[in-house]
Chains A and B, each alone.
Chain A
Amino acid sequence: MRSILSVARAQLATALRERITLFWFLAFPLFLLTLLALIFSNVGTEVDEMTFDVTLVNLDRPVAGTADFSAGIVEVFRRLGEPRGEGQDPLFALHVPEQGADVPAYVESELAALRVGNRAAVVLIPEGFSASVARAALAPEENATSKLVVHTSAGRTSSDLVVSILDQVFVSVDREILTKLGLFDSSRALVLEERGVGSQGGGFRYVDFLLPGIVIMGFFTAGLFSVPGTILFGREQRILRAYWVTPLNVPRYFAGFALGHLGLCVLQFACVVLLGRFAFGARVDLLRPLPLLYLILAVVTFLALGFLVAALARTANAGMAIANIANMPMMFLGGLFFPIGELPVALRAVMLANPVTYLADGLRASTGTGAGVLPTAATIAVPVAWIALCIVVAVFRLRWDVER
């Protein structure tokens, strides 16, 4: 037993002393959790802290004594160009032509700025806009609409975000005009609701979906890289041979190695869960019996997968190459970070053969953070089948010494 514990301690100490191991096994999962949680927990609300360069050019000059509908739009934009609060930036950094400016030349220069990304949108209120609105209001049967022209920049997300804001602005302007003209009964406005599905419990947040995925990713990379790394480099550098001249045998070495690996995974799990809970407010409970079963199954599956890679590779470099090649497709086609929707047959086959898919689905279903798309039996049977396959291949192919 002492020899097993010694190997486990050595395995853990070696991993923790290696800065590169620390990065991939600890820093990278934490980095990815932070990045994805920060980006996608706030999708739709990120505009709260952004300022967009928007140009407004009003070409409408209503005849004196007639309704000026463009003035309402100008006023809304002016308000959006004011600071949102004390010490806060406005939503729009508003650009308007100066008094007496050559307006066509100004529009041209603003469109040029838009094309190269210096503006998010250029909004034109065309000449005759107010008259056109009045006509449409008086003769609704003609279905005449008055067009505002919004120029956006191709391929730029800032433009996409501004279009989304402008759509809401113009809808409210439209309702305001219709209400003023007595053409819209705001008391009969539609009641809009939103319902989220895909999680079993209420109060779901993206970080609760993400956290189990990051934990599985951490176990996956730990198994896939550390096992071939340790075994194959140890074999090549004849470190393993040194073990075999001691009373230590392969089963004991393996037991110690697996124990050390488990220790590494526990450390990794604790760091990820603590960061998720205290930095991002994740509420997912992974320490109940069923989630724990999936977590242990994941550690064992990926440990076995690491041994499969070690058994298939002739050299340490080849082992790391196989691990690197398998890493990305298995990670992205396992639904770790986002659910997988429609896929072509070939990619769907990879997804369905991928143990990561089943473990992530099972873990999420067991914690209530996923609907559980796959049958529960499959989420256990497929990883177990992978473990069996890996053990069989490793038993027959893995060499524990350079000359054996």
Chain B
Amino acid sequence: MTALRALLAAELRILARDKTSLTFTFFFPLLFILIFGAMMGGMGSAEGSRLGLVVQGGGGERLRDVIAEVRGLRTTEYTTSPALEADVAAGDVDFGLMWDGTILTTVVDVRRAQENSAYKELARGIASRFELAVQGREPLVAVEQVVEGGGGNADWLTRVVPGIVAFSVLSAGLFAVAGHITSMKRRRLLDRFIVTPMRPASLVAAVVASRLVVVFASTLITLWVAILVFRVELHVDWLRYVVSVAAATIGSMGMGTLIALVVRQPSSAANLANVLSMVMMFVSGIYFPVEIMPGFLRAISAATPLQYMADAMRYATGVVDMSPARFWAINAALLGLGVVLLPVLSRYLVRAERR
């Protein structure tokens, strides 16, 4: 127990002195949220979207009335089409509508590939209502949408934040082994353990405990910033959150062990971990929904642990619902991965002593 305490204190001290690790663990998730929150917060919803409007034909009042009914849409009127097109291209308005008395034209910036489907849908809805209004009709059939589960209508950023948290947990866990421990092995620091009464399992336990402390702190700060600064609506179930973070950290350390065992050189472990985590980040539905990916990418995504970690984190933060059995199965699998592989990591440390 004394050995464990001493090792834990040493690990925490090492972490506190390691500016690079601290940057990646604490600063990067925040930076991602700041950048994506500022760039794409509210993406895909009418709320806060900026519409440019040119009316040059009869029936303009009806069109204005229809647009006024769309809640949260900010409208700027232009006198000419070129002025509107220039502002759409410059990003001063998100999309435009031009009515010449016969034709209703939607104007979008072709470069905004990730947002245009939402703007076009908004424009279609306005056009549909306007078409009826022109003939003095109201729609006979209306649709009432009821959102089930989760914390209500989760926008893009609300879905991304738990994914960023899951990714930061994955990185911390992976690099704790395929980075920190493999670096100790490369520098032959582990060889010194052979002459001490400390058991390798104590070192593994100290690394796990120190990472858990850091990961809980960093993820809490990330969630706090997302909620306070960007008003992201999260309804955190703290028990599920603690279980998810702990299982994902331990599971990621298990994956780090696999990487350390697979590569021949300890120094290559961090490189491979870096490559794998980057590929997983892009295909696991953290930034781009898995549903809009082509079939083969969806299959790759289904094979990456990060997708399940992110799903569990979205459930724990109240963004989506999930069957409790699935939630516990994901966490049991991650925990199982760690429980099976961390003893192997202990033996890996001993092997290092004998090199």
Sorted from nearest, which 7 A-B pairs have the closest CB atoms?
A154-B150, A115-B149, A157-B289, A155-B154, A196-B110, A40-B113, A155-B320
Give Cα A85–Cα B102 distance, bound, in whole angstroms. Answer: 36
Cβ distance B148 to chain A, nearest Cβ, rounded Å: 5
- Please, which residues of chain B bring their CB within 8 A of the CB of A190? 104, 127, 130-131, 134
Contact A148 B143 (CB under 8 A): yes
Contact A145 B275 (CB under 8 A): no
Contact A206 B110 (CB under 8 A): yes
The A-contacting residues of B in range 122-142, CB under 8 angstroms, are 124-125, 127-128, 130-132, 134-135, 137-142
Size category of the B interface is: 35 or more
Contact A197 B20 (CB under 8 A): no
Give the number of A-B contacts (CB < 8 Å). 259
Tally of A interface residues using CB under 8 Å: 91
Give Cα A281–Cα B130 distance, bound, in whole angstroms. Answer: 38
The segment from B83-91, B200-208, B335-343 that touches chain A is B83-91
Q: Is A357 an interface residue (CB 8 A)?
A: no
Contact B140 A151 (CB under 8 A): no
A-B contact pairs, 16 of them (CB 8 A): A38-B294, A43-B116, A146-B142, A153-B149, A157-B290, A160-B44, A170-B141, A174-B140, A178-B140, A192-B105, A194-B108, A195-B98, A206-B111, A347-B38, A370-B111, A373-B90
Cβ distance A310 to chain B, nearest Cβ, rounded Å: 17
Besides A38-B297, A140-B138, A150-B146, 8 other A-B contacts (C-beta < 8 A): A50-B291, A117-B322, A145-B139, A153-B147, A153-B320, A192-B106, A194-B106, A321-B23
Give Cα A196–Cα B289 distance, bound, in whole angstroms. Answer: 25
The segment from B1-9, B28-36, B240-248, B345-353 that touches chain A is B28-36
Contact A150 B144 (CB under 8 A): yes
Contact A143 B138 (CB under 8 A): yes
Cβ distance A366 to chain B, nearest Cβ, rounded Å: 15
Interface residue from B116, B297, B321 paired with A117 (Cβ < 8 Å): B321
Cβ distance A306 to chain B, nearest Cβ, rounded Å: 18
Cβ distance B158 to chain A, nearest Cβ, rounded Å: 7
Cβ distance B352 to chain A, nearest Cβ, rounded Å: 21
Cβ distance A350 to chain B, nearest Cβ, rounded Å: 9
The segment from A247-255, A269-277, A334-342 that touches chain B is A334-342
Contact A371 B152 (CB under 8 A): no
Q: Is A171 an interface residue (CB 8 A)?
A: yes
Give Cα A148–Cα B144 distance, bound, in whole angstroms. Answer: 6
Cβ distance A148 to chain B, nearest Cβ, rounded Å: 5
Name B's A-contacting residues (CB within 8 A).
19-20, 23-24, 27-28, 31-32, 34-36, 38-39, 44, 85-86, 88-91, 94, 98, 102-114, 116-117, 120-121, 124-125, 127-128, 130-132, 134-135, 137-154, 158-159, 268, 271, 275, 278-279, 282-283, 288-295, 297, 314, 319-323, 326
- A166-B143, A191-B104 known; A155+B158 contact, CB < 8 A: yes
- Please, which residues of chain A bring their CB within 8 A of the CB of B150? 153-155
CB nearest neighbor in B for A194: B106
Q: Is A106 an interface residue (CB 8 A)?
A: no
- Please, which residues of chain A bring their CB within 8 A of the CB of B27? 325
Give Cα A339–Cα B40 distance, bound, in whole angstroms. Answer: 11
Cβ distance B22 to chain A, nearest Cβ, rounded Å: 10
Interface residue from B275, B290, B321 paired with A154 (Cβ < 8 Å): B321
Contact B35 A341 (CB under 8 A): no
Cβ distance A72 to chain B, nearest Cβ, rounded Å: 10
Contact B141 A339 (CB under 8 A): no
- Please, which residues of chain A bring their CB within 8 A of the CB of B24? 324
- Please, which residues of chain A bring their CB within 8 A of the CB of B39? 332, 338, 340-341, 343
CB nearest neighbor in A for B93: A341
Contact B117 A43 (CB under 8 A): yes
Contact B103 A193 (CB under 8 A): yes
Contact A324 B142 (CB under 8 A): no
CB nearest neighbor in B for A23: B275
- Please, which residues of chain A bring their CB within 8 A of the CB of B111? 198-199, 206, 209, 338-339, 370
Cβ distance B330 to chain A, nearest Cβ, rounded Å: 13
- Please, which residues of chain B bring their CB within 8 A of the CB of A342? 38, 91
- Please, which residues of chain A bring their CB within 8 A of the CB of B85? 195, 197
- A167-B125, A196-B110, A209-B111 known; A154+B149 contact, CB < 8 A: yes
Interface residue from A145, A149, A183, A191 paired with B103 (Cβ < 8 Å): A191
